[in-house]
Structure 1
Amino acid sequence: MDMISTTKNTLEVVDAYYQAGVEKRLTDFGSYLHDDFVTTAPNYLPWGGVHHGGAFFREQVLPNLPDVLDFGRFSYDVFFANGENAIALVNFGLTGRDEMIKISEHWTVRDGKAINIWVAYFEPQALLDSLKIPHGLTRAAA
């Protein structure tokens, strides 16, 4: 596959994630995940840390994310790809709240399957309040 085709495929796969959320069928995105998919998110979130395997994202994140992020108030600030790598700077409403949050999501897609996502949250305090995580960006010990 040439660079232009690879870039186009990457954009299509990543956009499929956001569109599935907007259309209230986020779990359908599970078919786009490589079995070895890696999720990396801030440790202070319930789904945070580094998680290896598509099953974690498919079973823990996709069905539960709409409880936190309101995809009905989703928008792109920036969305671009270069080959297998994509960056989406996105805005989400917080479910059940008026606040919005900005998230930078960095994806890698290979052969039509997402193989990783690295996520950074900008000014996450409203999200932490929504999740009832105390100030200070730390999760309680398990």
Structure 2
Amino acid sequence: MTDSQTIAAQTEQTRQLVTEFYRIATGVGATMTLPELIHPDIVLEEPAFFFQHGIHRGIDAMGAISPIVGELLDRTSIQVKSIVADGDRAFAVFTVAMLDNHDQALIAEYWEVRDGKLALLRIFPHDPSPYMARQNRIVRAQADAIPTISLG
């Protein structure tokens, strides 16, 4: 294979892996499982305004974050707008609804592939306000559930 054929094949594999991730996330037409798709040493980088913000390492960390994301976002509402791949890297752009009030969020995610699996995910929300509003509603509800004590 020539270098350009190798890069073209790698680009197509990357596009397929990223597409498969969103199939799994939405529950529509997946042909792989997460352990087949995700590198065991995956690194997730999330913005500071997410509850689970920061850098998370490993498939177990990804599994721990998944239920939190499931409480915030309606994964079945994901609509992929674009996937652009080049070699072992890709960007995906999609919309997703907040679970409680259906506000729409626009997100770009940067992916890298290593050893034939998704190994890096960086999340870039276009506008943090839907996330922050949703998280504030969660915190407010939790605070309201805390018993109060009399100061008198």
Superposition TM-score, scaled by structure 2 size: 0.77
Within 5 Å, give how 1:1-142 maps onto structure 2.
2-23=6-27, 28-57=33-62, 59-132=63-136
User: What secondary structure sits across from 1:62 in the alignment?
Assistant: helix
Deviation at 1:98?
A: 2.2
> For residues 120 and 133 of structure 1, do their structure 2 counterparts lie closer, same or farther at Cα, with a shift above 3 Å needed?
farther
Q: CA RMSD in A?
A: 2.3
Higher helix share: 2
Q: Is the 8 A contact 1:94 1:130 kept in 2?
A: yes
Moved over 4 A (4+): none
1:52 partner letter: R
Deviation at 1:43?
A: 1.8
Superposition TM-score, scaled by structure 1 size: 0.82
Deviation at 1:127?
A: 1.4
Gaps of 5+ in 1: 135-142
Q: Is the 8 A contact 1:107 1:118 kept in 2?
A: yes
**CA distance, structure 1, for counterparts of residue 36 and residue 59 of structure 2:** 10
Q: Larger radius of gyration, structure 1 or 2?
A: 2
